Each structure stands twice: as C-alpha cells, then as structure tokens.
Structure 1
C-alpha cells in the first residue's frame, strides 16, 4: 500500500521579540515530529540561526527560496527576507510587528497557492502589527479576508470546544452586534466544522446567554429573551441540536459543558476565560469555517519570558497535530462521501 505524502505544515513565525520562534523550534527539535509532517517555516536562515543560538537549541534546517522546494524529513526555512532584523527579546517594537506580518503574508500566499497544506501561526502582538496595509485586530480577521468561507474563532481540545459569536470587539458593542442572522451563521459554521473537521455526526451545541443569568426573564436585559431564545427555537426546529441560552456564570463550574460537543459563547472573554482556565497549555485556536486549515497556540507573545528558554511549546505542538488531524478528517469526509465503506483515521500515538 502506498504511503500517504506527509502534510506540509506552513508556519508563520510571529513576533520575533516574543516566544514564537522558541515554541516553533522546540516543537521540531524532537525529530519524531518529522514522521508526521513536513514543516515549512516562513522567516530567514539568519533569523532562525540567531534564535536557535540564543536559545541553545540543537536543530538543523534546510534553507529554501520558495515553499515548493521543501524536502520531506527536513525542517525547511523559506527565506522571506535577506536582511537581518534587530531582535530585542521582550520588547514590543514596530520592526518586530513588521516582520511578523511579512512572515504571515508569505505563509498565507503559499497556503492559497497550495504550496503548503495547512497553516500554523505563532503569536503576534495586535498593537505593533498595525500598518497602512495591515489594519486587522488579529489573525482571524485577516484570514477571513484572504480565504473563502465564514470564519469562526474556535478554541479546541479533545474534551472542550468553545466558539465565539463575537470575537475582537468591545464589550459595549456586543449586544448590538448579535443578530438573528449572526447566530444562524455561527451555529451553521460550528455544526459543519464539528461534522467535517472533527468527525461528530450529530453534534450537540450549547449557546451561552448574553446577560447575567441569561437576562433573568428580562430583569437584566432583554436580548436573551428577544433575540437568542426565538432563534434557538427556530434553529432547533430545523433539525440542528442547539440548546440554551445557558447562564454563563455556572455553566462551566457545574460541568454542564460536558454534555455538549461545543459551546458558543456570546463574546470573547465569556468563552476564553473558562477555556483557558480549564485547558491552558493544551488548547488550540482554530479558525473554523474557512476553505483552508489554520491553527495557533492558545497563548500570546509572552514577552516576559522571551529569549530565556522558558517557553512551554505544548500548545504549539498541539496546534500542529490539530491542523494535521483536521486536514486528514476533511480528506476522509470527502472520501467517505464518495465511498461510505471506506474508513481510516489519523493515528496520534505521539502526543
């Protein structure tokens, strides 16, 4: 039987002054990772050489000029730039943001052109990435523009999956942003992702209320009664297993989340605080709903430990494995749709 070609994992390097390079290099310092994928890092030979020297990491890599020249069994570095950028560990500099975006744009172009199969992004700083040609609050918004589909910020582990109705917007704007159309779109996206990306045939989805105690029957805001409840009823009647709205303050503490395949939170902190509390270091940020697979670790640039060799690469490694698994699951879904008798699963012995 012919062995399947290894997944080509495109990696944007993130903020050079943060822990991005460190978690990437630590992940692939273990050569067994090359049994699972072909990593293609978008940076430069000199940048990677400097980082590995400063961090005391022992890795070899293959420098290339374009992603299509990547070799299996090697850590590949695409030379996106030739100059040597200044690296000031722990500092949020304009230069650090500029090179993070150069890496990201090159990686996304390769993803769109089919030169890499999936994208895993190292952390960026949302402040120093802002430029005339890049005015996005983060990766998700940029990818939503560049790729096809309806994007959903989806934080995932094997046991817990949390999506967001709204993500990087101010809390004061949340209630106004949540409309019946938005809810229907996000529920449809999360249901499709659970089926195709995670192999759950009939997923159960919980929606969290917008207001404390889901409005307490209108005493603490009208949005839950006026918007969420009618839409949930309508979606349920169409056959989707969606329930709620649930009071967010007790939902996770009571282990209520374990009854569902995914939870859809109303806004950023409502979903990410419990997710990171329960799963920090093991969680993965997945941009669901797009025609390409992108994941990232569940942490930021961690300037306070940058350059000290203290960064934990567990979440980045999980992001790599999750991207590979989702890509394989999508392949399998397509194959099973054409031939329902065919069954195969990505084996994840090494995690």
Structure 2
C-alpha cells in the first residue's frame, strides 16, 4: 500500500520503521515505535535543516533539559504524553519476511512538523545509553501526506495561539492535602483551587489565590512566606514544588475547612480595612506602603490571632467575633506602626513602588 502527496517531492530524508502498532487513520498513518527506530532521523547537527523544522535544538531550554532527564531517569514514561508529527511525500507499507503483520513502513521526503526537540533528545540518548535501557520506551508518531500534511503544517504553526499551557496551579489538584480539602464537608461555601472557577456550588468559594495569601499571613516567625505569596510569580514558585518546606508549611495534612475559612475571612477583613483607608493615607509619602505592600500589613495585623489553633475544630478562641470586631483595629494599628517604622528607617522620599515590595524592607520593618 502506498500513500503519497500530490506535491512535488521535497528531497527530505527517508525513514524505515518497524512499528509495534500501526493504523491508517483518516488523517494519515498513526504508529507506535521504539525510540531506537528514530535515533538516526535527527542524529546530525543539521537535523533541523534537513527535516525543515521550525527551529533548531534548544539545548539550553529548561523544558528540553527536563525532557532529556525524563528519558534518562524514567524511559518508560517518555512516550506517555506527546506525539511526534511528521510529514512525508510518500508512505509505503512494505510486507515483512514473516507476512503482512510484520510489515515495515517506508516514508520518503520526511519533514518534522512538530517534535524536533523530542527527536534530538532521542538521538542524543541513543548515542550514549545502553540500548536495553530504551527497549521499552515507545513513542507515538503521526505521518501525514497530501492535504492533511498541509493542514497539520498550518495548525501546528499557530498552535501556541490556542493552547492554554498548564501552570503550577493546575497541578495542585494532584496534591493529596488539597484534594482532601476539595472533597471535605464545608459548612459555608467550598474550596476551589482550579483556575477558571469563580464560585462553588453553595455560592461562596475560597479561591486558591485567596487561600494561599491568607494562610501565608498565618505563617512565621517572619514574613517570608507572606512576601512570596504577595505576587503571582511568587505563588507559582510556591505551588511549583509540592515537596518544599514552604509549600508544606501552608498546605499540610492537618488543614481543615474551618481553618481555611478562618484564615480567608480574617484576610478578607484585613484587606477590606486597607481598601477603606482614605486615599491620602494610601498614596502619600511612606503611606505608599499600603499600596505596594498590603500583604505585609495583613501579616503583621493578624499576628494577634492564635495561629496554632487555626485548623483546630475544638479551638475555644472566639474566631468569628475577633474577625468581626478586632481585625479592623489591628489593621489600623499595624498600618500606623509600619508606616512610622518605614519613615524612621528611610526618612527621605524615594521610589516607593520599587522599595516597598522588597523582602529586606519587610524584614526590617517587623524586626
């Protein structure tokens, strides 16, 4: 059987494959092959040119390095996600010596539409690793010809425009402590760590951003975690390593819905108090601390609450009353205290937007 493209031969390389599985699908051939079958395809330093790929080997990319580590450390997982997409002028099914079920595929005029980084990682690994270590490393290929080849080129050229890449937050649902909270019985509202979710089934929803910043305000002894959680970039770093001390300090096995609710509601009240301050207090001189470091003020203000009882359902502390009646006064006092300290340490006017968010300043103000 021969499948060919009506376009002029492209003079790309030829590729012989002995696929473990193969199927002629609507859009072209879909095959599974051991990575050793593909080693030769991108072995040369000119592979990007010969395969007419969009870019060369991004050897200094963090993602490429992670892909190489995956192949080295966990070869059986390498092909579980991701498909290499090739175009070809012609694809032939060549019967093998033991009959049609052992048939080979021969592709002529091959180009790499998507997956050059994988191909180069495969070539590099096959050059240095024992073949037996790669024996069970299977990857999926699509080999397209004709109109489907053109369609694949066009869509892969712009795939980044309509692909939402996963972030550290998207992986939080795999954390057992987070998953337990999601499935817990919440008296008021629900906890929703996913992006794109605005409210829970009961209306009130504790978002991952709010919960992270609220819990960070109950950390200590210093404001380091509160500072890390104060920016989107800091939260991505915090969420990105679920084994880190910082992450496990906030999201541990002792978390309870009641603790999340207490922290979030106290944090909401603290922020509401800052938002209601007169504009002159928030945007004049050292008062810019309110605008550029509100998380520091919230952290300082909420220190009067019993942090060690936050997640305890048996706590005898009157949390609701304290949040309703005492947090506001604590925030106002903390605001005055921190602004006065800021003015004492750095009396002259300066670039507040740059200085106020710095961790070194936060630590000096609460020292």
Q: TM-score range by the shorter chain?
A: under 0.3
Flag the structure with larger Rg: 2
Q: TM-score, normalised by structure 1?
A: 0.24
Q: TM-score, normalised by structure 2?
A: 0.23
